Structure 1
Amino acid sequence: MAVPETVLPEHVTAPAHRDGNVLRWLTAYTASLVGDGVYFVALGWSAQRTAGPTEVGLVMAAGAVPRAVLMLGGGVVADRFDPRRVILVSDAVRCLVLLTIAAAVALTAPALWLLVAVALVFGAVDALFVPAVGALPLRITSPDQLARVTGMRTLSMRLGQIAGPPVGGLAMGLGGPAAAFAVGGLFVAVSLPLLLTTRIRPLGPRGAPGPGTAREDLLGGLRYIRHHRLIGPLVVAGALCELGLTGTLNVGMVLLNAERGWGPTGYGWIVGSFGAGAAASAALLAVAGWLPRAGLVLAGTLLMGCTGAAAIALVPTLWLAAVLAAAIGLSAGVFGTLDNALIQTAADPAYLGRVTSVVMLTMVGLAPLSYPLVGAAIGAWGAAPVFIGCGVFAGVGPVITLVSGAVRNAELPRQRPGAAVP
């Protein structure tokens, strides 16, 4: 797809919340996320109407395979090409696939093979989309605005998670799977003209990609992460926390509520409180745009999150668990925003796609592997010891950040006095 090169002049710096360029990209990103949420609802209910529970699980999990397998390659693509262009192509493919399956479902009952094929295509597209999204912020704003942009992006993700499923459910109720897939495609389509008008900054000599094969680029990215004094510890710490906590906060929380007799309502309160805390932290960073002693704050909030996640299985009442979940969400949100902003600031722009792909691989490829292990462990020993054990494992992450002098002393750049504001 030929995309016109709209370049952002390097001298333009503006607060992200007043920068039309950033807001255009953020609106496009939000529309794409809402479309994704609608798509998942349509996919799940279409599978449920077509086959049994086992097949539904197969359809819903199918996209995870290409996403995990291709994620590192997606990082290479994001660094070799304009990330805005990669996002545009990804969204165009999503839109085309959604509208095509909407037409197919309108004409005939959705076949299981067709739903699996759609899930596989979306998983492969995600492997390109996610690293490109991670590489884009530094190309559309200045380094001193990265924390604010990260907070705004997190709020956008929360909005997509909140709005997508209800919109998909409403479309399913009114017009069935065909209408839901079509609505998802239209939301994704909204992002295309906004992305086309998003301006980008040239990389400059520091970020210019060198010649080499895709394999050399991939290995070079892994070496870059391993040898970087700041990014290496941050990536390892984040991976340990994802592996240690994702299973307990997803599968484990369902089993904990069943064990305590709090039921689905209790689960809803706990998950909602976690989401509210994460959204509040994102809003804080989006408004403030900067925090002092970012490295120490990152390490401290990571430690608080791991401690809270271990202790939540010990609290005796639902309301205490909900309050603790909100504190965990707040800590996780601050850590995630600062982690992303520090990586974006410290990384050579030519490696941002590959760095993002490694970070996301731990989240979407490796962390879900803990789900059956956590479920089996809770079935054998109960929730409390498993939550504590996983919290201790994840607690190695904040120890790594505290031991690393580069992380402890890391700071976010502040906005330069007298910066141009349109």
Structure 2
Amino acid sequence: MGTDRPAHRDPNVLRWLGAYTASMVGDNVYYIALSWAAVQTGTAAQAGIVMSVSALPRAVLMLGGGVIADRLGPRRVVIGSDAVRCAAALAVAALLFLTRPGLWPLAVLALVFGTVDAVFMPAVGALPARITGKGQLARVQGMRGLAIRGASVAGAPLGGLGVALGGAATAFALAGLLIAVSVPLLVSVRVRELPADDTGGAAKRATPWRDLREGLTYIRRHRVLAPLMLAIALGDLGFVGPLNVGLTLLAEQRGWGAPGMGWVLAGFGVGAGAASLLLAVRGRLPRAGLVAACAILGGCVAIGALAYVPNLVGAVGVAVLIGLLAGLSGAMCGALLQTQGEPAYLGRVTSVASVVSLGIAPLSMPFAAGAIGAWGCGPVFVASAATCGLGGVVALCVPGLRRAELPR
């Protein structure tokens, strides 16, 4: 397989990256189509319910999805997930072309996507370790980050173009076709088989429940993964509120409006993209654990400062810094997850990290909104920054994580 070849020159990795990028662009187009169709079909409250339907199965089933990815193999799971999402999007597109069925097919589609995401995300996290060597996993993490940023930039206008040309039905069809592009590419990706002594307990597995317990025990006893999960949880809890609902309220209070908020978000995206590019070009950074800790601590200071910047230009500058530091810490944490975890356990390791980021952290948003309404943006941003900073403190204080290195 040529696992020693640099990832950016490895055709196997590039086929995977092309498949992942196409799938992510399709995802972005799908969300545009879903939100437009829901708003056009029902009330604002009903549209909100449809948009949130996918969150519950994603959070509830994610740990089980990690077990499935490790038992069946990540490539097989990713191929099946993309095939199901493609078929579901195309089916709803055909239904919308033929009739006006109301909100129910949109809710079913959101439910299907959320359920499939619960197995897709852990499998995506486990797949890189099976297609390249450990020394290239950090670079792959940077390449993946660039793909995510590129998909966000391309997906929104493509979704808008689809809606403009033929309404939500055309946009759903476009999303399905983009996701379909990933399937043949993934079929052509070659994966490394696990050694006989590195099967994550496969020889003695009895039930998926036992697999899940083995995975959680593996994480709990690992000298790097256990504190890393805590650092990720604290960082996300402090980050999600201010950079989602908090930023909207801050822009409203300062009179920046939606365009101003867009500029701040663009600044964040530029910074995060620069961090991913750095890792993709360099391949690795020395003292990864220490770099992650310092980036988390620096990012939390910038988050707290964002609420006190007096003008839009300054806010955009701070957002670039937040994106750079948060992107760097996120890339380092993701690379450490990839390189510290054994390939046989990576589906379960990724599922735990995803539950933290996608299931627990979003719960902070309504609390952040209520707190901002009661005390204003400044104190809440500072409190969120302090929570985020605790993740950096954990990374600094736990020797195993602080001294963690990425493979050469």
TMscore range, shorter length: over 0.9
Q: In structure 1, how many angstroms separate the alpha carbons of the residues matched to 2:311 and 2:40? A: 38
Is 1:130 the equivalent of 2:117?
Answer: no
The farther-off stretch of 198-207 and 84-93 is 198-207
Is 1:395 the equivalent of 2:385?
Answer: no
Report SS of the residue matched to 1:395. helix
Q: In structure 2, how many angstroms separate the alpha carbons of the residues matched to 1:50 and 1:268? A: 26
Q: 1:277 aligns with which of 235, 260, 271?
A: 271
Alignment of 1:180-191 (within 5 A): 180-191=171-182
- Contact 2:65–2:351 (CA<8 Å) still a contact in 1? yes
Is 1:202 the equivalent of 2:193?
Answer: yes
Q: In structure 1, how many angstroms separate the alpha carbons of the residues matched to 2:206 and 2:346? A: 17
Q: In structure 2, how many angstroms separate the alpha carbons of the residues matched to 1:73 and 1:121? A: 16
Q: In structure 1, how many angstroms separate the alpha carbons of the residues matched to 2:310 and 2:400? A: 40
Shift of 1:264: 1.4
- Specify whether residues 297 and 206 from structure 1 end up closer, same or farther in structure 2 by C-alpha distance, changes over 3 A only: farther
- Contact 2:16–2:185 (CA<8 Å) still a contact in 1? yes
Q: In structure 1, how many angstroms separate the alpha carbons of the residues matched to 2:380 and 2:13? A: 42
Report the equivalent of 1:364. Answer: 358
Shift of 1:341: 1.0
Report SS of the residue matched to 1:207. coil
- Contact 2:3–2:131 (CA<8 Å) still a contact in 1? no
Q: In structure 1, how many angstroms separate the alpha carbons of the residues matched to 2:344 and 2:198? A: 4
Amino acid at match of 1:218: L
CA-to-aligned-CA distance 1:241-277 (integer Å, 9 cap, x gap): 1112101110000101111122212211111000000
Amino acid at match of 1:408: R
The farther-off stretch of 318-327 and 276-285 is 318-327
Is 1:234 the equivalent of 2:234?
Answer: no
Report the equivalent of 1:418. Answer: none
Q: What TM-score results when the alignment is normalised by the length of structure 1?
A: 0.94
Report the equivalent of 1:32. Answer: 23
- Contact 2:21–2:147 (CA<8 Å) still a contact in 1? yes
Is 1:87 the equivalent of 2:82?
Answer: no
Amino acid at match of 1:363: S
Gapped regions of structure 1 (runs ≥ 5): 1-7, 415-422
Q: How many residues align?
A: 405
Q: In structure 2, how many angstroms separate the alpha carbons of the residues matched to 1:209 and 1:266? A: 49
Is 1:378 the equivalent of 2:372?
Answer: yes
CA-to-aligned-CA distance 1:306-326 (integer Å, 9 cap, x gap): 111111111222111111110
Is 1:63 the equivalent of 2:57?
Answer: no
Amino acid at match of 1:62: V
Alignment of 1:18-417 (within 5 A): 18-210=9-201, 211-414=205-408
CA-to-aligned-CA distance 1:46-74 (integer Å, 9 cap, x gap): 11111100000000000101101100100
Shift of 1:279: 0.2
The farther-off stretch of 265-274 and 198-207 is 198-207
- Contact 1:28–1:192 (CA<8 Å) still a contact in 2? yes
Q: In structure 2, how many angstroms separate the alpha carbons of the residues matched to 1:241 and 1:205? A: 37
Shift of 1:363: 1.4
Shift of 1:12: 3.8
Amino acid at match of 1:344: Q
- Contact 1:37–1:168 (CA<8 Å) still a contact in 2? yes
- Contact 1:27–1:191 (CA<8 Å) still a contact in 2? yes
- Contact 1:34–1:160 (CA<8 Å) still a contact in 2? yes
Report SS of the residue matched to 1:407. helix
Q: In structure 1, how many angstroms separate the alpha carbons of the residues matched to 2:91 and 2:36? A: 18
- Specify whether residues 144 and 160 from structure 1 end up closer, same or farther in structure 2 by C-alpha distance, changes over 3 A only: same
Shift of 1:31: 0.3
Q: In structure 1, how many angstroms separate the alpha carbons of the residues matched to 2:129 and 2:221? A: 22
Q: In structure 2, how many angstroms separate the alpha carbons of the residues matched to 1:363 and 1:336? A: 11
Q: In structure 2, how many angstroms separate the alpha carbons of the residues matched to 1:166 and 1:206? A: 48
Report SS of the residue matched to 2:193. coil
Amino acid at match of 1:317: N
Report SS of the residue matched to 2:85. helix
- Specify whether residues 306 and 205 from structure 1 end up closer, same or farther in structure 2 by C-alpha distance, changes over 3 A only: farther
- Contact 2:296–2:388 (CA<8 Å) still a contact in 1? no
Report SS of the residue matched to 1:357. helix
Q: What TM-score results when the alignment is normalised by the length of structure 2?
A: 0.98
Report SS of the residue matched to 2:84. helix
Is 1:16 the equivalent of 2:10?
Answer: no
- Contact 1:80–1:209 (CA<8 Å) still a contact in 2? no
CA-to-aligned-CA distance 1:279-304 (integer Å, 9 cap, x gap): 01100100010111111111111111
The farther-off stretch of 314-323 and 227-236 is 314-323
